[in-house]
Chain A
Amino acid sequence: MRINPRHTQKGAVIILGGATILVLLILAFIIIFILEKGLPVVNLQFLSSKPRDLGRAGGIFPTIIGTIILPVVALLIATPLGVFTSVYLSEYTKETTLTKVIRFGTDCLAGIPSIIFGLFGYIFFVITLQMGWSILAGSLTLAVMVLPTIIRTSEEAIRAVPKVYREVSFSLGASGWQTVKKVILPNALPGIVTGVMLSIGRSIGETAAVIFTAGSSLRIPTTAFDSVRTMAVHFYILAREGISQENAYGTAATLIIAVLIINLTAYWLMNRFIARRG
């Protein structure tokens, strides 16, 4: 029996369109569910006061500090390392077996579960190097976790810069580094920024690698060797140990809003950047 192609065509549109709507509904549900239950809890008081009674009462101020400081330190370490490594690999080396092995290695490390980085950070930074549960150990762990992603995305962005731009720059008497600085990096910037933004998002939401390396202290840190608790970790502890569902929702709502703002900013920045270069 032959089905009329026009019917299958119609069926396909319905099924595929339905799948798209379903996925968007799931996304909307997750965000609305958390915001609806969480936003009533969130107010200035909640954001700016310390938690009391293990988080059962009070706000989440110290965890906001933790959520900002860990990714910032991690990215300050990982971004220059990652970008310069990708510059070296793509501009200063010839394509050899070694560079291919390095690329494959970073690809694999980019896909390694964060818990393995947590395990490594815990044994190496926290215990072997005696950093203890601390901002330093947590940031270093996050830095090595996002490093492969930054190397990968930067290298892709650099390779996407047309080869003729390099030729023109060299023909005008530029040195290798001048070409990198004036032509390659500015043109690869949107891609590099995307990689960095992705990494920030991943660090902010990360729990497994952070809880075992930065600990979960609720005090406001004063030195790099103090333990901190991020919002994601706070949320996990509140929800899993059943301490306070209300505050768990509030923390989750704050976390989601933060992540949305970062993503939208990144998206906006990139569009503006691309439009300006047009």
Chain B
Amino acid sequence: MKLVGEKGVRRILMTVAFSAISALLLITLFIINEGLPFIFRYGLKDFLLSSDWNPAAGKFGIFPMITASLWVTFGAMITGAPLGVAVAIFLSEYAPRPMMKVVKPTIELLAAIPSVVYGFIGVMVLAPFIRSYFGGPGLSLLAGSIILGIMILPTVISISIDSIMAVPRSYREGSLALGATTWQTIHMITIKASKSGIIASIILGLGRAVGETMAVIMVAGNSVNIPHSALDSVRTLTANIALEMSYATGMHRQALFATGVVLFVGIIILNSIASVALRKRTSKR
């Protein structure tokens, strides 16, 4: 039965691991290699801070898209994070265990709904609503923020619940034994103890919001401009790549890869913050 010995297995596993990791490394290098030279040639400052995006004329300033991405992500945080954290606290502290065991996976289903479906709901329901009650084109920064806010809920709720549940029972019991109400215990003890996990959940949710493409294309309107109000139509970094990629060549294509590099760096920064926060959580335990 022994086809390969223990050393053979080790060698095979090492080869597999090596190829998987080098494939991932290859992608990273490929994107950087396509994008970084462009940034140097065009100038980092012009690329990031100029508002002139006109590929036909060789103008590649992505400042409007950066602004749009930041605003949409910020909007998603305003709408999604408080709601998500509230649900997480309710489910882990007030709801009876059986209820949580049903509701948590149900909410995780939200993550499984394809993003195009969210985009579609935004187009069919949210945008007309915004148009008729607040004015503007409807497809807007506001619509994008709300849809993304909903999309980050499962991430925020799921990870927050995990960190709240990781708070030792004895902390809670100690507080309750001193006569505190459940709510006093929650906001004085539980939230404090699980703070870094909750922050990590929000940051990871924001990572998802920054990277979301199709839903944003569908609901945010896609005009290249710096938004002056929440009702303006905007184009995010991801939308910019998706909308122009199929016909971009030469400098233009490199500019899109450079946009990818900017996104990449943004995600790495967000992830680093989240992983520091999560590590804090585990070391405290």
Interface residue ranges, A against B (CB under 8 Å): 5-6, 8-9, 12-13, 15-17, 19-20, 22-24, 26-27, 30-31, 33-34, 80-82, 84-85, 87-89, 92, 102, 104-109, 111-120, 122-124, 144, 147-148, 151, 175-177, 201, 204-208, 212, 232, 235-236, 239-240, 248, 252, 255-256, 259-260, 262-263, 267
Contacts and interface: CB of A to CB of B under 8 A. Distances in A.
Interface string B62-81: 00000000000000000000
A119 B28 contact: no
B106 interface: yes
A263 B154 CA distance: 14
Given A114-B211, A205-B113, A148 B238 contact: no
B253 interface: yes
B105 interface: yes
Nearest to A115: B213
B211 A239 contact: no
Given A120-B27, A144-B23, A205-B115, 18 more contacts: A17-B90, A19-B86, A19-B90, A22-B83, A23-B87, A23-B107, A27-B110, A104-B272, A104-B275, A106-B24, A111-B270, A119-B245, A124-B27, A147-B24, A205-B112, A235-B117, A239-B116, A239-B218
15 contacts: A9-B183, A16-B94, A22-B83, A27-B107, A33-B121, A34-B121, A80-B16, A111-B271, A116-B31, A120-B30, A205-B112, A207-B116, A236-B214, A239-B116, A239-B120
9 nearest A-B residue pairs (beta carbon): A113-B211, A205-B114, A19-B86, A16-B90, A88-B17, A12-B183, A88-B13, A85-B17, A177-B9
Contact of A27 (B106, B120, B218): B106
A17 to B, nearest CB: 6
Nearest to B217: A240
A232 B114 contact: yes
Contacts of A175: 6
B19 A81 contact: yes
Interface stretch (B52-60, B127-135, B227-235, B256-264): B256-264
A23 B6 contact: no
Interface in B203-241: 204, 207-208, 210-214, 217-218, 238, 241
B253 A13 contact: no
Given A109-B28, A119-B256, A120-B31, A92 B20 contact: no
Contacts of B6: 175-177
* Most chain B beta-carbon neighbours within 10 Å: one of A20, A30, A204, A255: A20
A19 B117 CA distance: 23
A235 B253 contact: no
A5 to B, nearest CB: 5
Given A24-B106, A81-B20, A119-B257, A207 B214 contact: yes
Interface residues of B, number: 86
Given A23-B87, A24-B106, A113-B267, A33 B21 contact: no
Contacts of B204: 111
Contacts of A205: 112-117
A20 B20 CA distance: 41
A256 B110 CA distance: 11
Contacts of A239: 116, 119-120, 123, 218
Contacts of A108: 267-268, 271
Nearest to A267: B105
A267 B106 CA distance: 11
Contacts of B113: 30-31, 205, 256, 259
B163 to A, nearest CB: 15
Contact of A176 (B10, B27, B84): B10
A39 to B, nearest CB: 14
A34 B117 contact: yes
A166 to B, nearest CB: 15
B103 A119 contact: no
A208 B112 contact: no
A29 to B, nearest CB: 8
Given A30-B113, A208-B213, A85 B242 contact: no
Contacts of B253: 123
B24 A105 contact: yes
Contact of B14 (A30, A31, A92, A212): A92
B283 interface: no
A112 B27 CA distance: 11
B89 interface: yes
B50 interface: no
